[in-house]
Amino acid sequence: MSLQYVLLFLCFIFITIKGDKPPTYFPNLPLGEYKLKFKALFPCESTENHKLQYNVYFSKKTATEFELKGNMTLHVPFDDSVSISINMAVKSSIGGWKDNAHVYTTTNACSKTIWLFGELWNDIVRGFHLPRFNCPTPPGVYVTSGIDMEKLRQNNFPKKFFYGEYKMTFLFTKSTGEKLGCFVLVLDVIRPWE
């Protein structure tokens, strides 16, 4: 009788050992690998008095493909003396925005932007016809007729993140605290199969 229990136990162990099987699939976890679904891109306020003006927007190529279009007007160089603050508000279950869900603030905005965008930075430089690939970006007006947002996958963003709808406010300041520019990006962080 005890031999039957031993054999049953051994069978149970061999059946449940994973071996070379892929990891268990948990589709309803609140975070994981993701894809981005862009919704809107607009200035925080009138850019008339901003020294870094980002007048860019998303344009639909097809039902699921977007391009980044518009212009950037830089009255001062975009360099490492600029700081950037990103405040991510998450959409709550009742429809309002909860600020400070994720906050990222750093100095050296130019170098950090290049690092964060990774290979996509080269497409941004070519798309906006920037004069150089490294810092600083000199003052001027830079216009793009369209940058494919599918290329955004080639970046140094976190590879796993919390799912949900986010409103990201990007604020650019000088070390003295002077506000240089601001824009808002609204997007969904969704599961790869959605």
For the chain, the domains span 33-190
**Residue 149 corresponds to which amino acid?**
M
109 backbone dihedrals φ, ψ, rounded to 5°: -60, -40
Average pLDDT over residues 167-187: 92
Long-range contact pairs involving 140-143 (C-beta distance under 8 Å, separation at least 24): 140/73, 140/74, 141/71, 141/72, 141/73, 141/74, 142/71, 142/72, 142/73, 142/74, 143/70, 143/71
Q: Are strands 140-148 and 97-106 parallel, antiparallel or unpaired?
A: unpaired
Identify the residue with better confidence: 56 or 151. Answer: 56
Pick from 46, 47, 43, 53: which is nearest to 74 by CA? 53
Average pLDDT over residues 96-114: 91
What's the rounded Cα separation, in Å, for the pair 166 and 144?
25
What's the rounded Cα separation, in Å, for the pair 109 and 140?
18
The correct CATH number of 33-190 out of 2.40.110.10, 3.10.310.30, 2.70.220.10, 2.40.420.20 is 2.70.220.10
| pLDDT per residue as tens digits for the range 38-83 | 889 999 988 788 999 999 998 888 877 888 899 999 999 999 999 9
So what's the pLDDT on residue 7? 54
So what's the pLDDT on residue 97? 93
Q: What percent of the chain has pLDDT over 90?
A: 42
So what's the pLDDT on residue 22? 60
Residue 3 pLDDT level (bands cut at 50, 70, 90): low
User: Is residue 24 within 8 Å of 162, Cβ to Cβ?
Assistant: no
So what's the pLDDT on residue 158? 85
Query: For residue 104, what are the contacts with CB-CB under 8 A and spacing of at least 6?
Result: 85, 86
So what's the pLDDT on residue 45? 85
What's the rounded Cα separation, in Å, for the pair 33 and 151?
17
Identify the residue with better confidence: 20 or 160. Answer: 160
What's the rounded Cα separation, in Å, for the pair 76 and 178?
12
Residue 11 has pLDDT above 70, yes or no: no
So what's the pLDDT on residue 109? 92
What's the rounded Cα separation, in Å, for the pair 9 and 168?
53
Both structure tokens of 81 = 């003396």
What's the rounded Cα separation, in Å, for the pair 29 and 164?
12
So what's the pLDDT on residue 38? 85
Residue 127 has pLDDT above 80, yes or no: yes
